[in-house]
Structure 1
Amino acid sequence: MKTKFIFATALAATVLAAAHVVWAGQAPGSLSDPDMPVSHHDRVYAAEQFSNTVSVTDPADNKLVGVIRLGDPSPGNFSPLYKGQVLVHGMGYSPDHRTLAVVSIGSNSVTFIDTQTNAVKHTTYVGRSPHEAFFTPDGSEVWVTVRGENYVAVLDSKTYEEKTRIVVPAGPGMQIFSPDGKYGYVCSSFNPETEVITVADHKIVGVVKQASPFCPDLAATPDGKQVWFTLKDVGKTQVFDARPPFALLKTLDTGPITNHVNIVHNAGGMFAYVTVGGLNQVKVFRTDDFSQVATIPVGNLPHGIWPSGDGSRVYVGLENADAMIAIDTLTNKVIATVPIGQAPQAVAYVPNAVPEGDGTQNAQPLGVAGQTVHLAMMPADASKPADAAGAPTTVALFDQGLVQVLQAAVTGLAPKQPYVLGLSDSPDGGGNVDPLANFMTNPAGAAIVNAIGQIRQLVTPGASTAGDKRRYLVIAPQMAGKLGAPVQVQAL
């Protein structure tokens, strides 16, 4: 019966492909790869940094299957950590779609998960603060960028053990491969250059200058012609020729907290989709002439993004909204929102991840991972706009049980200046301010700010009781060791 079921599924897919024009090839594959229509066999995964989970979504009906728990929430990870993962962040998958590779920054690990059963197959520990892991197109190796050091750890995909290291400038941020498997492209988060490395012999054969040092993400077009990478600190996206001499082709101003980029091929052509966290938008550009064709409002702090196997949709993780959204790529409209875990980072759409059955094994309910409060901040001077695009600073308070993690996606401030995020006794920021976190804005006047503790004072309007002491979020500049007048206050 099993053989008949698989054959019938394959036959149906063949008939479906023959019945319409096939716009083949989606990242990270080749343009010659056949499309894979959205089905219940597909899965969308998100790596969730504060709940230490991987959410599993069925894209056919955009329903959460459950989460895979890789570690405990805080403060369980404050003491020596003997098991479990912390700061689940990066994500890639094998060419046969059977294995998910999940990077946890805080525990220096790559966890390999069986996509059919959601079971952990192996965990490999690498160097300080790895960021992303991707399989080579032939499936033989897994390259892991070790961002806290100066190398790419190369793992054997069968044994999961590290077999060699490729030394690069300090702070490698992410790697992706050319569709033909010839080159690996490794951008940097600490140095303003991207390295081009031959996959066969691990040699650096090209260097592309970045407009800034902080690149978190890059994507190669399925036709093998271009590589797009984002620059989070200056709000730009750059494009270079994927072939020698790897010339820079274009620099685009995309906006503060420019996060991830991915490529979609559909009936309209080939497009780059860029998540811009400071504007709460996804921007869409043609890859032929680099013109911007759409701006999609999506919600708080869009981060990871990945296309479906047929390019009909892209899925985006909303870091400060604890949600996954689906965008129809022909209309560029949001068509679904799925509640997931806390602070999704990387996202991966894996076609045919579950060839048989419902794929619910080892998936658990959200639980505490679904408990979050969302707030916003506005200029202290009500006559001023939130920022140039009208997007406010957004704040998420992630409940960890005993403590809470606060994350603010701050925008609209002066660039490269010190500020304090704190709690004030007054809604207008007057009076005493208790600091929660000091931070420095990036060249785009933005920042991601984190604090952790028993921040019980943060309550939503109408939720307080007679005994509560209300406190209010404020952002104030720090000048000569003293706080200036608040520039942003909590929206009520």
Structure 2
Amino acid sequence: MHGILRSNWRSIGIAAALASSVSFAHAGQAPGKITDADIPLSHHDRVYASEQFSNTVSVIDPVDNTLLGEIHLGDPTPGNFSPLYKGQLLVHGMGFSPDHKTLAIVAIGSNSVTFIDTTTNAVLHTTYVGRSPHEAFYTPDGREVWVTVRGENYVSVLDAKTYDEKTRIVTPPGPGMTIFSPDGKYGYVCSSFNPELDVITVADHQIVGRVTQGSPFCPNLAATPDGQQVWFTLKDTGKTQVFDAHPPFNLIKTIDTGPITNHVNFAVTRKGTFAYVTVGGENAIKVFRTDNFTQVATVPVGDMPHGVWPSGDGSRIYVGLENSDTMSVIDTAKNKVIANVPIGQAPQAIAYVPNAVPEGDGTQNLQPLGLSGQAAHLKLKPVGDAKDGATPTSVVLFDQGVVQVLQAAVTGLEPKHPYILGLSNQPDGSGPIEPLARFMTNPAGSAIVDTIGQIRQVVAPAASDATASAPDTRRYLVIAPVVDGAPKAVVQVQAM
């Protein structure tokens, strides 16, 4: 009798162990379902980054964390100003097909969606849509591609086989991004211009629910693999919100995540499901549990973390650093950066695609990093603050040849107030200011400021530059508030 009992208990124990093993083995990662099998890291996998100022897509082998090369979709400035320019401009958004064979790359400036074969890196087709599209994602059944046309008021629905537009789904102006429920029933469309997120049925394209956003500017959202929650970020207020993925789509939680909150995604691990939120103003990734919303880690990274995506087994999180021209790799077991990979200029959306290259080395049609990897990096700090760590504003000068694209991730200012980014001939910012760009801070006291010119030559001259031997031509980046149209006392100065 005791032997039978021991045998039964042993069988139960083995069954429990197997159940536990199977449970973890079937813990699919976003955007898939929780029941999908995890896919271990492999040389067949690829990580992709769409890069806004070099108009490129970087291709990385995640096993070695090695840049294999770049897919060139367009030219740098000022070549792309030509009326005869035929390339893509401001390469930004990214999605991929459920069979992992095709990328969909959105270029904001050329109003395009470029479809790329993941095995050969070759362009299959380019579809032109409405003004300033932002992101494109395949429906889970692979039949349609939904493109949020942020410069207008609709989602352009493309046929995934013909690449032609088949219909439009009208939304409030400024649809920012679409992500789908893992079961393929709903499409969730947040807005970048209106405080409303729409829930749309995939089968008949009808709006069946609305969620009130805490502010108008949502750049990104993601659904948990168990299909229970949707998280979306609010870049203008530095918050992340969570709502129930099922009717009536009630808001569950609002989290203060920090200035310039960019993207969110998930990793399913042995310890649970975790949300990874990129916070540009703090140059960090914040990690939250999805069951009780507790923050469990803050992972420091380089300047301006933007896109974020998990590996096929949830063991890694990949983060594009917009103002560092780098892809950071985070070990989810330790929540620490384990690698940094140089990539192209201003990475935006990224994606990890398991088994993207089933056969071969997948290096066809790739080009070396070249000019796309050249940039100068500066910091601005509060006036009178001598502390080395007090550099709330990061500035990058993306080399375009003769000129540079300047992008400043500005933080630490008064909310909703006009400012000017300019040049001073004094290190402390005293004296007249030569204006470069005027901007308004958001409710979090932050802003992304862009301008173009020969700026590096005067603010960060190299030893070989002619300006290096002419100190009177040296200038320093500064930020000053604007009152009645005129700049007042400087509040941030270039750190030396």
TM-score relative to the length of structure 1: 0.94
| Structure 1 residues 265 and 391: alpha-carbon distance in aligned structure 2, compared to 1, 3 A threshold | farther
Residue aligned with 2:469, SS: coil
Distance 2:240 2:173 in 1: 21
- 2:494 is matched with which residue? 490
Residue aligned with 1:77, SS: helix
Render the CA deviation track for 1:205-251: whole Å, top value 9, x for unaligned.
Answer: 00000000000000000000000000000000000000000000000
- 2:426 is matched with which residue? 426
- 1:415 is matched with which residue? 415
4+ runs of 1 displaced by more than 2 Å? 17-21, 383-386, 460-465
- 1:440 is matched with which residue? 440
- 1:6 is matched with which residue? none
2:257 maps to which of 237, 254, 259: 254
Deviation at 1:458, TM superposition (A): 2.3
Distance 2:354 2:430 in 1: 53
2:269 maps to which of 266, 269, 272: 266
Residue aligned with 2:81, SS: coil
Please say if residues 172 and 187 of structure 1, whose CA atoms lie closer than 8 Å, have aligned partners that are also in contact. Answer: yes
Residue aligned with 1:409, SS: strand
Matches within 5 A, 1:73-222: 73-222=76-225
Determine if the alignment matches structure 1 residue 475 to structure 2 residue 479.
yes
Determine if the alignment matches structure 1 residue 397 to structure 2 residue 401.
no
One-letter code aligned to 2:246: R
Distance 1:349 1:223 in 2: 19
2:69 maps to which of 66, 69, 73: 66
One-letter code aligned to 1:70: L
Matches within 5 A, 1:319-398: 319-382=322-385, 392-398=392-398
Distance 2:187 2:429 in 1: 50
Deviates further, 336-345 or 376-385: 376-385
Deviation at 1:21, TM superposition (A): 4.5
Please say if residues 23 and 310 of structure 1, whose CA atoms lie closer than 8 Å, have aligned partners that are also in contact. Answer: no
One-letter code aligned to 1:44: V
One-letter code aligned to 1:480: D
Please say if residues 424 and 433 of structure 2, whose CA atoms lie closer than 8 Å, have aligned partners that are also in contact. Answer: yes
Residue aligned with 2:458, SS: coil
Distance 1:442 1:266 in 2: 35
Render the CA deviation track for 1:329-348: whole Å, top value 9, x for unaligned.
Answer: 01000000000000000010
- Structure 1 stretches of 5 or more lacking a match? 1-16
Please say if residues 380 and 391 of structure 2, whose CA atoms lie closer than 8 Å, have aligned partners that are also in contact. Answer: no
Distance 1:348 1:339 in 2: 16
Deviates further, 92-101 or 78-87: 78-87
Distance 1:273 1:461 in 2: 38
1:55 maps to which of 50, 53, 58: 58
Deviation at 1:385, TM superposition (A): 9.3
Deviation at 1:454, TM superposition (A): 1.9
Instruction: Determine what percentage of the aligned residue pairs are the same residue.
Output: 73
Aligned residues between the structures: 473
Residue aligned with 1:127, SS: coil
Distance 2:332 2:24 in 1: 16
One-letter code aligned to 2:495: A
Residue aligned with 1:278, SS: helix
One-letter code aligned to 1:344: P
Please say if residues 379 and 391 of structure 2, whose CA atoms lie closer than 8 Å, have aligned partners that are also in contact. Answer: no
Please say if residues 381 and 391 of structure 2, whose CA atoms lie closer than 8 Å, have aligned partners that are also in contact. Answer: no
Residue aligned with 1:369, SS: helix
Residue aligned with 2:208, SS: strand
Please say if residues 279 and 391 of structure 1, whose CA atoms lie closer than 8 Å, have aligned partners that are also in contact. Answer: no
Deviation at 1:23, TM superposition (A): 5.3
Please say if residues 373 and 397 of structure 1, whose CA atoms lie closer than 8 Å, have aligned partners that are also in contact. Answer: yes
Deviation at 1:460, TM superposition (A): 5.6
Question: Which is greater in Rg?
Answer: 2
- Structure 2 stretches of 5 or more lacking a match? 1-19
Distance 1:460 1:20 in 2: 57
